[in-house]
Amino acid sequence: MISSVLPNFKVVRDKDRCIQCGVCERQCSNNVHHKDDVLGVITAEDSRCVCCQRCVVMCPTNALHIERYPQVNRANANWTHDLVQGVYREAETGGVLLTSMGNPEPYPVYWDHLLLNASQVTNPSIDPLREPMETRVILGRKPAHIEVNEREGKLITKLPPQLVLDFPIMFGAMSYGAISLNAQKTLAMAARELGTMFNTGEGGLHRDLEEYADNAIVQVASGRFGVDAHYLNTARMIEIKIGQGAKPGIGGHLPGEKVTEDVSRTRMIPEGTDAISPAPHHDIYSIEDLRQLITSLKEATRYTKPISVKIAAVHNIAAIASGVARAGADVIVVDGFRGGTGAAPLRIRDNVGIPIELALASVDQRLRDESIRSEVSVIAAGSIRSSADVVRAIALGADAVYIGTAALLAMGCHLCKSCSAGTCNWGIATTRTDLSKRLNPEIQTEHVVNLIHAWGHEIEEMIGGMGINSIDSLRGNRLMLRGVGLNEKELSILGVKHAGE
């Protein structure tokens, strides 16, 4: 049968440079490259290429590069190439289009319309190389007032459990199964070295990672995979996952092929069965139900751990966040629509949810209006791409941010959006041992640690330029932001003035 589905990419090989060493063939898990002894050349099956660029990077003679498949359609601004191909694909398979990573569509990126302030003349800027800077943040419910025994210098008020981070940056939830154990171990090792947190996602805590439990946030999601008393009590914080920015309103599905023996033990489900997370928690149909689960988790851990609730940024997010805060959450995670995923239906990822910038600003404003902002910490997630985005998020009201994609990029990810295939050539989104060993946790931990150190320096430079010497003084400080190219409504939701005002 003929197929109208075209390859997405074309593998271009410089014959003058290729020495036919076959590294590309051995490294490609998609079987694109093939050393053809009859033709005497290495051929490439373009249709299988996902543009992960493993071969490009590994080729010792730089003989390879990947191009977009050159076939053109009759120009059509309405029926774009991707839409037409999507119809062909669905018509030929009858299946839902699956994809991975964050929303790539050209919706407005509000981060790029927010500019940062700096001090000039009227107040001094601070040089982080010469003066102390505080990047530490403390997450958790803060009491309205505290009593101190001044004679002994001790706190009388019993503080709710707090979470201390050396950087306002944590690693977002990525479960074992969706990513490889080596990838999760890398995040765990980096989190420990950096004094921050990694998040196990909904796939349970692998026993090899229990030694990193002091830096682990464990998730309780709708599938409740891997959840037992030990799991809850080992972790530093517990996160109830209500939704995910990449796919608000729908659950998860880890195909049976990825549920290997190790994954099955960690998730506490039979080997080879599909791990299906229902769309809702079937015991949470209201804020009151959420309060019950939060209280149960607090009881199970004897009120020693903060409980966070992760919700996707959707319409009415401010009211939802307010309800979550009142349900007893210590931390609220708001995940914007550009957040990544290991697998999501394409149409959901590209069309559902709202931008994190607007959601964060409205959540922070609502909590402040209701005078409950201090009772809960807010974490922003969903495409934090650089240290400047971290600064903007904190100025818009976040206590800290989650990064997922940026951390994966540091570990070698090339954003080919094929995580759901399970054949990740970089050893990240796969449970195949022959592929996951390509990610050496020792090397990649160095990269992730480097990344966060670099961001830390950049954050210090940026807030120092504003004349601020601690993250705490930046939080919710929207006067440090100015909008460019935004309309009145956008500015009022973001709570920032336009540049020049």
Partner 1 sequence: MRRVYSIEELCLDCKLCEIWCRTAHSNVAGATWRAEGPITGRMDPFDIIKAGKLEQPEPQSRIRVEGDTVASMAVNCRHCPEPKCVEGCISGAMRQDPETHVITCDPTRCVGCRTCVALCPFGTIVVRDVALKCDLCGDGAGAPGMPACVAACPNRALVYVESEV
Q: Which residues bind partner 1 (CB under 8 A)?
A: 16-17, 19-23, 26-27, 58, 60-62, 433-434, 437-438, 440, 442-443
Nearer to partner 1, 126 or 408 (CB): 408
CA distance 100 to 410: 18
Counting DSSP H helices and E strands in the chain, the numbers are 16, 23
CB within 8 Å of 294: residues ≥ 6 apart: 240, 307, 309, 327, 328, 329
Rounded to a whole number of angstroms, the minimum distance from the CB of residue 14 to partner 1 is 10
Cβ contacts of 318-323, under 8 Å, gap ≥ 24: 318/359, 318/362, 318/363, 318/365, 318/366, 319/366, 321/363, 321/366, 321/367, 321/378, 322/366, 322/367, 322/370, 322/372, 323/287, 323/290
Rg (CA), the chain: 24
Rounded to a whole number of angstroms, the minimum distance from the CB of residue 419 to partner 1 is 20
Nearer to partner 1, 42 or 395 (CB): 42
Helix then strand then coil, % of the chain, to nearest 5: 35, 15, 45
Rounded to a whole number of angstroms, the minimum distance from the CB of residue 343 to partner 1 is 24
CB within 8 Å of 90: residues ≥ 6 apart: 97
Rounded to a whole number of angstroms, the minimum distance from the CB of residue 438 to partner 1 is 6
Nearer to partner 1, 201 or 412 (CB): 412
CA distance 490 to 358: 8
Rounded to a whole number of angstroms, the minimum distance from the CB of residue 23 to partner 1 is 5
Find out whether 422 and 429 touch, Cβ atoms under 8 Å. yes
- C-alpha 310: how far from chain center: 12
Rounded to a whole number of angstroms, the minimum distance from the CB of residue 33 to partner 1 is 13
Nearer to partner 1, 16 or 152 (CB): 16
- Phi/psi for 407 (5° steps) reads -65, -40
- Among 327, 335, 334, which Cα is nearest to 297's? 327
Nearer to partner 1, 19 or 454 (CB): 19
Rounded to a whole number of angstroms, the minimum distance from the CB of residue 434 to partner 1 is 5
- C-alpha 376: how far from chain center: 21
Nearer to partner 1, 62 or 157 (CB): 62
Nearer to partner 1, 196 or 444 (CB): 444
Rounded to a whole number of angstroms, the minimum distance from the CB of residue 295 to partner 1 is 44
CA distance 210 to 189: 11
Nearer to partner 1, 338 or 438 (CB): 438
Rounded to a whole number of angstroms, the minimum distance from the CB of residue 440 to partner 1 is 5
Rounded to a whole number of angstroms, the minimum distance from the CB of residue 260 to partner 1 is 14
- Among 350, 399, 408, which Cα is nearest to 374's? 399
Nearer to partner 1, 414 or 482 (CB): 414
Segment holding 240, helix H or strand E: strand 237-241
DSSP string, 393-404: HHHTT-SEEEES
